[in-house]
Structure 1
C-alpha cells in the first residue's frame, strides 16, 4: 500500500516536472520568435545591425522586446531605441 502511494507520487511529480518544462520551453520559444521578428523589422528600417544590437536582442526580456518593438515605428536611429552602443574596448 505504501509502495503504491510512493509510486503514484513519483508519477505525479514527474508529470508536473514535464508540464513545467513544456511551459518554460514555450516561453523561451516565444521570446526567440519575438526577437527574430524585431530583428527583421530593425534590419528593414535601419539596414545591417551591429553586433551590439544583436547581443541585446539575444539577451532581452519580454518587456524589453515589447518596448523596443513599439519604438521601431517612430525611432530615428538604433540609439534612440537601445541607447548608446557600448564603448569599444
Structure 2
C-alpha cells in the first residue's frame, strides 16, 4: 500500500466533496429546475455531512426549500 501524506489526504477529501456537491447540484437541477443563487451558495459552503444529508432529502423532497429545511 502506498503512503499517502496529509496534504494528499486533504486533496482527496476535497475532491470527493466537490464531486458530491456537483452531483447533488445536477440532481437538484433535474428535479427542481434552475437552482437559485441562495441554494448554490449553501451548496458551496456546505460540509460533507450537510451534502450527504441533503442528497438523501433530495430523493423525497417536494421542493428545494424542503431539501435545506432543518
Pair 1:63-2:46 in alignment: no
Q: TM-score, length-normalised on structure 2?
A: 0.89
Aligned-residue CA RMSD (Å): 1.5
Give the structure, 1 or 2, with the largest relative contact order (CA under 8 Å, sep 6 or more). 2
Q: CA deviation at 1:53?
A: 0.5
Aligned runs of 1:14-53 on 2, under 5 Å?
19-53=5-39
Aligned runs of 1:65-80 on 2, under 5 Å?
65-80=51-66
Q: Which protein shows a greater Rg?
A: 1
What number of residue pairs does the alignment pair up? 67
C-alpha distance in 2 between matches for 1:46 and 1:25: 31
Contiguous gaps of at least 5 residues in structure 1: 1-17, 84-89
Contiguous gaps of at least 5 residues in structure 2: none
Runs of 4+ in 1 over 6 A off after TM superposition: none
